[in-house]
Chains A and B, each alone.
Chain A
Amino acid sequence: MKAFAQLIETVRATPSSSGKVAALADYFCRAEPADAAWALALLNRRRSRQLVEPALLRLWAAEAAAIPLWLIDECHQVAGDLGETLALILPPVAGLNTAPRVPVGESSPDPQGPCPPAHGGSAESALSLRQLIENRLLPLSGLDTAAQHDLVLATWAELGTRQRLLWNRLLTGTFRIGVSRAMLARALARQTSIDPAILEYRMMSGWEPRAEDFRRLVSPETTLDDAARPYPFHPLAEPDEAASAQPPAPDCQVEWDWIGQRLQVIRRRGHTILWSEPKGILTDALPGLAQAASLLPDGTVLEGVLSPRHGGGGPAEPPASASPLLRELARRRTATHPLLFIARDLLESRGVDWRIRPLTKRREELERLFGSTVSAWGDAQRQSQKRSFEQGELFENSAIFSRSRANCTRTPNPSRPPPCPLQLSTLVPVAGSEWSAMRLESVCPPGAAGLLFRRLDSVYGGCRREDAWQRVPLSRAKSSADTAR
């Protein structure tokens, strides 16, 4: 508790992120796992909600410090922060007025009761972070105001100023700290010598702030779960309206900018994982795509967009005015009739991280991979179609990959398999004479919002200027007007 309050101070006062990481690493290597688990939960994601009204805390602090309310408000104005004001105005432990409101002997908030406050001792509490949260903070929600009063005051009486500040922030649900998940992963990696990417992934997966979960989180044993870890997505810039008329620089790769969920297709140790942000793992939700992706070689991670199958005469969205029955049918159809994954980057190949290689190299490797995968997929389709046909089945499985239920013939032509749900993002030629905004708008496929420009030497996830993705919108309205003419 003391160590955690100190850590918060240090992190706040340290300007550099490497300094913050060092302080975090130092804390995690000393902390008990049960405390470290809560610390990580607080630092990483868990927002405590407001358990006590700030107005009540102000009243209670006035009482405990024997200070009139107007003087608290005066202090609040100078300090500018209520949690901090209340932490500061409370005098050192011995001077605190903590007469309980609940008569002694009545129900205590948790089975063991809170530790008896250490009156008159030093300002440094023996209370651990786990005890503070589990025995003091969490029980508050089940207590009436009088019992909350007693527990809050008893806790104030035990804490030093820094710890009181933390406690006040937890009480009012205002604990915030500028630490990213990547920084936490780097800090934990120093102690555990596990790849920060794995730690980051483990932090994103389900765990509870318990000692055993924390031990598992930092365990040097890599589990099957770790094989599922995705890479952080490259930051996606807003479409750049001003750039629409500009022909691209010659050192750019240009492709369609697809609208849809961003997805990573991860293939490791014989397992296939479809990862999207913020939805997480979508493998079970997209069985058709997962099946096709299982043809990718082990140690492959692709990045792309999950796009509704617009091109190739796929099912159009029914208008909002359509009858509920029609819409339900369409919903079921899309459920079995999958979305396309349009791969636009390769992040890992043959188990090696490719992100820092230039885009040209990644694209080359991506094309090579696609060549072999798509032909494997075609073979698999022909096999399965043939089998279904021979067995007189209704072709349910492979129908998910067919162009559409409406176009689907009940007797498939084995020589022409339906398109693979894994698609390679097609490049838009940039040669000078080809370049015309109007022409581009007229050929812009449905599902694409514009063009995506990336420098040939850009790296994935890089933060240099030349790594940035530029998105150029194209006007769909104009293109349909052109087509009509």
Chain B
Amino acid sequence: MARALITHAHSDHARPGSQAYLCAEPGAGLLAARLGGKANITGIAYGQTVSMDGVRVSFHPAGHVLGSAQIRIEHHGEVWVVSGDYKLDADPTCCPFEPIRCHTFVSESTFGLPLFHWPPTTEVVADLHAWWIANQHAGRTSVIFAYAFGKTQRLLAHLDTSIGPVLVHEAAHRLLACYRAAGVPLPPVAPATDENIRRIAGRGLVIASPTSDPSALLNLSGPPSTAFVSGWMLLRKMQRDRGVGRGVGRGFVLSDHADWTGLVTAIGASGANLVLTTHGYAEPLARYLRENGRPAEVLPTHRG
């Protein structure tokens, strides 16, 4: 591709191989970190319009992660908005979702079933703090598995670091500079090296990658208390799949995607007369919208 418009720097939305990349300004640094130094990246401020071949393009906050954007495309008065990933819940690490009126709204639908209603973030964070403190009383290191980009930094912004020392997975730690450069205040934390983990054993909290091996931590810190942080943790089935009740002690429900109410609200606010659903439970969401008087189709996800 000659020129790629990027909603955000998650790997399923930003693939290398294009000659030039356009993204929202606050995400440019992260995209560079993800794609490597040689990529030709242009950051455009939220709301600023650029014209390309008679098409007017602008980026608008999606509230998903730092620098995430919905892309508005206008051609001959016809407006499309491509949501990328988005959420409506407040997140101290990024600009809040901004509803944009359009004719056609391409909406993600990762959690497009009415099963998914997120609990208030403050409640989840309070539970997480209580869990951390209980682990300290039991002399156990707390280990949270969370995605390196987005979830880790959001957690960091919410954590009360007066409870104890916090370490983050090294891949996530490398991204902290981009956050600080974008003006997101995050507490100072050290990377989760073996040595650091040994040092904070029994009282600290480690934010680890979901793919990291908990048994490696066992040698460093004694048996840790582990938890998984994701919207999927709302479902017992997913908790069991993640080992909650066996190896993993807890599942905390915190997602960077819109829940059912968020999706329906955002779609309503777009005023779109055609909704194209993509990613996740696209089929039931589209059918539900149609039955409620809003034309909707599934947009096949194209991969590769």
Chain B associates with chain A: yes
B128 to chain A, nearest CB (A): 13
Inter-chain contact A91/B117, CB cutoff 8 Å: yes
Q: Within the complex, which residue of B116, B236, B251, B291 is in contact with A81, where a contact is CB–CB below 8 Å?
A: B236
CB-nearest residue of chain A relative to B249?
A: A13
Contacts of B235 in A (CB 8 A): 78-79, 84, 88
Inter-chain contact B251/A75, CB cutoff 8 Å: no
Inter-chain contact B115/A13, CB cutoff 8 Å: no
Known contacts A89-B115, A91-B117; is-contact A13 B234 (Cβ 8 Å): no
> Which residues of A156-182 are within 8 A (CB) of B?
161
Inter-chain contact A78/B117, CB cutoff 8 Å: no
> Count of B residues near A, CB < 8 Å?
24
Q: Please, how many angstroms separate the alpha-carbon atoms of A89 and B259 in the complex?
A: 11
Inter-chain contact B288/A71, CB cutoff 8 Å: yes
> Which residues of A83-105 are within 8 A (CB) of B?
84-85, 88-89, 91-92
Known contacts A15-B247, A68-B291; is-contact A91 B115 (Cβ 8 Å): no
Contacts of A75 in B (CB 8 A): 113-115
B180 at the interface (CB under 8 A from A): no
Q: Please, how many angstroms separate the alpha-carbon atoms of A89 and B287 in the complex?
A: 17
Q: Please, how many angstroms separate the alpha-carbon atoms of A360 and B250 in the complex?
A: 47
Q: Please, how many angstroms separate the alpha-carbon atoms of A75 and B287 in the complex?
A: 14
Inter-chain contact B249/A78, CB cutoff 8 Å: no
A67 at the interface (CB under 8 A from B): yes
> Which residues of B109-128 are within 8 A (CB) of A?
113-117, 119
B199 at the interface (CB under 8 A from A): no
Inter-chain contact B113/A74, CB cutoff 8 Å: yes
Contacts of B114 in A (CB 8 A): 65, 67, 71, 75, 88-89, 91
Contacts of B244 in A (CB 8 A): 13
Majority secondary structure, A binding face = helix
Q: Please, how many angstroms separate the alpha-carbon atoms of A291 and B245 in the complex?
A: 51
A205 at the interface (CB under 8 A from B): no
Contacts of B284 in A (CB 8 A): 71, 74
B228 to chain A, nearest CB (A): 11
Q: Please, how many angstroms separate the alpha-carbon atoms of A85 and B291 in the complex?
A: 21
Contacts of B288 in A (CB 8 A): 68, 71
Inter-chain contact B246/A15, CB cutoff 8 Å: yes
Inter-chain contact A80/B237, CB cutoff 8 Å: yes
Inter-chain contact B261/A91, CB cutoff 8 Å: yes
Q: Within the complex, which residue of A13, A74, A91 is in contact with B250, where a contact is CB–CB below 8 Å?
A: A13
Q: Within the complex, which residue of B237, B261, B281, B287 is in contact with A79, where a contact is CB–CB below 8 Å?
A: B237
A216 at the interface (CB under 8 A from B): no
Inter-chain contact B249/A15, CB cutoff 8 Å: yes
Q: Please, how many angstroms separate the alpha-carbon atoms of A80 and B115 in the complex?
A: 11
Known contacts A15-B247, A68-B291; is-contact A84 B236 (Cβ 8 Å): yes
A12 at the interface (CB under 8 A from B): yes
B139 to chain A, nearest CB (A): 13
> Which residues of B205-259 are within 8 A (CB) of A?
234-237, 239, 244-247, 249-251
Q: Which 5 A-B pairs have the closest CB atoms?
A: A88-B115, A75-B115, A89-B114, A80-B237, A74-B284
**11 residue pairs bridging A and B, Cβ less than 8 Å apart:** A12-B245, A13-B244, A13-B250, A70-B287, A71-B114, A74-B113, A88-B114, A88-B116, A88-B117, A88-B234, A161-B117
Residues of B within 8 A of A (CB): 113-117, 119, 234-237, 239, 244-247, 249-251, 261, 281, 284, 287-288, 291
